[in-house]
Amino acid sequence: MKQIEPAGLAFVDHDGEGVIGALKVGLQYELEDLVNLELTAEQMLQEEMFLVRSTLTEDAKHIWSDLVDGLTPIEMLAGKWLLIAADPTSLEWQRHHWWGGEMDTGGKGVDA
């Protein structure tokens, strides 16, 4: 290995090619570092996407659960109203105006 020192800089001649060989080795190390950096960034992006997907899935489950829990009482109340409205006894009373002891006599009572 021959050492070259132009202008006070020390270079180690790895391949016997002088400065060009040192630049080649330096560029190879830089390229390997850049490739490793790119692979690390890609792995970090995949991990971030997995985290976002997991968070959104969990949030969607909570939102759906809250929505179902919130709608169930309203659905039960609407069902009760529909059952009350469909009660035949109630329908007959309303159809013939039998409330208050009066039948359909125009508000005058049965004896009129």
The whole-number pLDDT of residue 2 equals: 52
pLDDT tens by residue, 50-97: 999 999 999 999 999 988 888 889 999 998 888 887 777 776 777 777
Q: What percent of the chain has pLDDT over 70?
A: 71
Question: So what's the pLDDT on residue 112?
Answer: 41
**Mean pLDDT, all residues of the chain:** 79
Query: What is the Cβ-side half-sphere exposure of residue 39, based on CA atoms within 13 angstroms?
Result: 6
**Backbone angles phi and psi of 81, in degrees to 5:** -60, -40
| Per-residue pLDDT at 30 | 94
Tokens (6 digits) for 112: 């009129």
| Residues 6 or more apart whose Cβ sits within 8 Å of residue 6 | 19
Please spell the DSSP secondary structure of 40-78, one letter per residue. Answer: HHHHHHHHHHHHHHHHHHHHHHHHHHHHHHHHHHHHHHH
Question: What are the residue ranges spanned by the domains of the chain?
Answer: 2-96
Residue 104's pLDDT is 47
- Res 86: pLDDT: 79
